[in-house]
């Protein structure tokens, strides 16, 4: 527990599990009032609602008016926005198996939801003359993988969008950054229907073997934990990062080669 974000209000999308849930816990633990948006809730999110000043807003950000409804729930003030919602469907059938509908859904959830929620929240930040927009990217933005070809394209666009916006709003007191994880211990990777299980069905490897291979691609030999991603988000949300904008902070255990 800390008071680093005491008196500030944060909005987090995709907040019911995984990275989003860890971010809600980190921000609330630092004193922020958090509006947590997701389609459904979980026992873990319900527990945070009971323990901290966290409000859950049921919202499907694929719906065009959902961003405005989510931001309206904050009551007129947004100090921190964390765009986390997204999807990473493995395309084991290759590029030719990915339909226009597949592309549209992936780009909508990974790019346009962040655009819409940011557009809804930004006027409140501009009026206050301060704010921090933090968007969860991916190592696949700079290390695209054919297994997640549409996801890679969407995340690359997301990072570019964030960098461009940072140049416009930086002089007005608003910082815009991205956090790009490598593989993370979440249901997206390890849960039922996740990447490991889907790749397993296509390759004959067990899900554990798929996960082990992915972990082995990192220098550290393991996945990142959601709380580790949340710690980076917390840093960017607070005043310790007051002059940090337009950056993409990578946390991947050395997944992207640096030599």
Give the CATH number for residue 148: 3.40.50.720
How far apart are the C-alpha atoms of 113 and 178, rounded to whole Å? Answer: 15
Residues tagged active-site: 151
* Residue-wise pLDDT tens digits, 220-251: 999 999 999 999 999 999 999 999 999 999 99
Domain-located, residue 62:
yes
| pLDDT value, residue 176 | 98
Residues 74 and 86 in one domain: yes
| pLDDT value, residue 117 | 98
Boundaries of domain holding 243: 9-182+225-250
Domain-located, residue 38:
yes
CB 57 within 8 A of CB 36: yes
CB 236 within 8 A of CB 161: no
* Residue-wise pLDDT tens digits, 24-81: 999 999 999 999 999 999 999 999 999 999 999 999 998 889 999 999 999 999 999 9
Residues 45 and 158 in one domain: yes
Output the six-digit token pair for 61.
């950000």
Residues 102 and 166 in one domain: yes
Q: Is the pTM of this model over 0.85?
A: yes
Tally of structural domains, the chain: 2
* Residue-wise pLDDT tens digits, 118-146: 999 999 999 999 999 999 999 999 999 99
Domain-located, residue 259:
no
pLDDT at residue 98 is higher than 90: yes
Q: Whose CA is closest to 42, among 184, 174, 234, 191? A: 191
| pLDDT value, residue 259 | 67
């Amino acid at each position: 527990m800390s008071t680093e974000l005491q008196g500030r209000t944060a909005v987090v999308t995709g907040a019911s599990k995984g990275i989003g849930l860890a971010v809600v816990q980190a921000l609330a633990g630092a004193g922020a009032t958090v509006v947590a948006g997701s389609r459904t809730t979980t026992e873990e999110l319900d527990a945070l609602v009971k323990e901290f000043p966290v409000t859950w807003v049921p919202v499907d950000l694929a719906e065009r008016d959902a961003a405005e409804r989510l931001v309206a729930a904050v009551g007129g003030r947004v100090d921190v926005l964390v765009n986390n919602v997204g999807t990473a469907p493995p395309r084991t059938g290759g590029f030719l198996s990915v339909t226009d509908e597949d592309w549209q859904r992936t780009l909508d959830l990974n790019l346009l939801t962040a655009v819409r929620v940011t557009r809804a929240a930004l006027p409140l930040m501009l009026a206050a003359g301060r704010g921090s927009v933090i968007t969860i990217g991916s190592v696949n933005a700079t290390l695209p993988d054919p297994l997640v070809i549409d996801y890679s394209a969407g995340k690359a666009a997301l990072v570019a969008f964030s960098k461009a916006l940072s140049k416009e709003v930086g002089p007005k007191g608003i910082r815009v950054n991205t956090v790009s994880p490598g593989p993370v211990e979440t249901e997206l990777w390890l849960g039922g229907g996740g990447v490991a299980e889907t790749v397993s069905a296509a390759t004959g490897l067990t899900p554990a073997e798929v996960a082990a291979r992915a972990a082995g691609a990192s220098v550290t030999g393991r996945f990142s934990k959601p709380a580790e991603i949340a710690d980076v988000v917390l840093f960017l949300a607070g005043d310790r990062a007051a002059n940090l904008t337009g950056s993409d902070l990578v946390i991947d255990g050395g997944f992207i080669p640096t030599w």
